[in-house]
Amino acid sequence: MKHFLNTQDLSRSELDALLADAARFKRSPQGDALQGKGIALVFFNPSMRTRTSFELGAFQLGGHAVVLQPGKDAWPIEFDLGAVMDGDAEEHIAEVARVLARYVDLIGVRAFPKFVDWQLDRQDRVLQAFAKYSTVPVINMETITHPCQELAHALAMQERFGTTDLRGKKYVLTWTYHPKALNTAVANSALTIATRLGMDVTLLCPTPEYILDARYMGWAEANVAESGGSLTVSHDIDSAYAGADVVYAKSWGALPYFGNWEAERPLREQYRHFIVDEAKMALTNSAGFSHCLPLRRNVKASDAVMDSPQCFAIEEAGNRLHVQKAVMAWLASQSATR
């Protein structure tokens, strides 16, 4: 049984098939691929796009989504094996995942890091525990990566360039300032998918402290070796933007300061000028600009960039509906083992 935890787990033909299916769902939104099927959407963190697009995507394919927020409208869950459960958690993931799998055909999970200890968070324990105990496919709705966003981003780039072959395009993933230290998930994912598609990728960040976790840098290097393209790390704004075809923005916290965010703040505060603005975009090859959203205007990107024809963030967000239909239809077509 396949889960959808990371795009890196997919073969290239599986990845291409999902993107092609998503394009078909975009042209023809209704269907019966989930007729009579259910999906549990388990949210440990807030969402606007993910929740809306999964719920409506399931509905438009004849299925039904149940949203659960453990600790709010569902019981708090314990994830440690062997835990003496005398704290807040009322039930263990070993029961939760197996029971949900008796009711539904798919389980989506959103579980951000706890932002205290990266060595713990990088284990992706919540997602991995659902995948371990569930007898139906599990979908990553954003944990320490965001593979659904990757697919939506990839489809949007293919649409923008009018081709599924993005090799040779210069792609800049730029860190941007944010008043809070944020998750690295979308940055990890952007690096993963852009290198997988054979693009010439530059990771632009203020200092070496903002380079991403070795696992994702390693995936990117492996992808370059397999797909062609290139991977460059840069701390120089002008040379990174020069000639870019795509600029993708995201803010994230510096991993060496993980859990010690007040100590990171003086470093981060020095780099407010990493905002994506018209002057930087003027250095590019009329690049498309995008961001996963939500985005703080005039902090991460200027109004002028967000409102320019170069910005395809809305198209990308819209594509979440179509790519997630493709993922749900694909996984649900596997025979359930419950």
Please state, in angstroms and rounded to a whole number, the distance separating the CA atoms of residues 116 and 109.
20
Give the containing element (helix H, strand E) for 204.
strand 200-204
Which of 47, 60, 69, 164 is in the footprint of ligand CP by CB under 6 A? 47
Which 293-332 positions form the footprint of ligand CP (CB under 6 A)? Answer: 293-294
Could you tell me which of 141, 143, 147, 139 has the C-alpha nearest to residue 126? 143
Question: With CB under 6 A as the contact rule, which of the stretches 46-54, 119-127, 210-218, 227-235 interacts with ligand CP?
Answer: 46-54
Beta-sheet pairing, 230-234 with 138-140: unpaired
| Nearest to ligand CP of 93, 148 (CB atom) | 148
Query: Residues 214-243: x/- map of binding to ligand CP (CB under 6 A)?
Result: ------------------------------
Q: Is 292 in the site for ligand CP (CB under 6 A)?
A: yes
| Nearest to ligand CP of 67, 233 (CB atom) | 67
| Nearest to ligand CP of 55, 91 (CB atom) | 55
Helix, strand, coil shares of the chain, percent, nearest 5, are 45, 15, 40
For residue 259, give the DSSP letter: T
Distance of CA 249 to the CA centre of its chain: 13
For residue 203, give the DSSP letter: E
Question: With CB under 6 A as the contact rule, which of the stretches 166-174, 207-215, 238-246, 288-296 interacts with ligand CP?
Answer: 288-296
Least separation in angstroms between CB 148 and ligand CP = 7
Which 142-201 positions form the footprint of ligand CP (CB under 6 A)? Answer: 142, 149
Please state, in angstroms and rounded to a whole number, the distance separating the CA atoms of residues 29 and 11.
26
**Residues making contact with ligand CP (CB under 6 A):** 47-50, 142, 149, 292-294
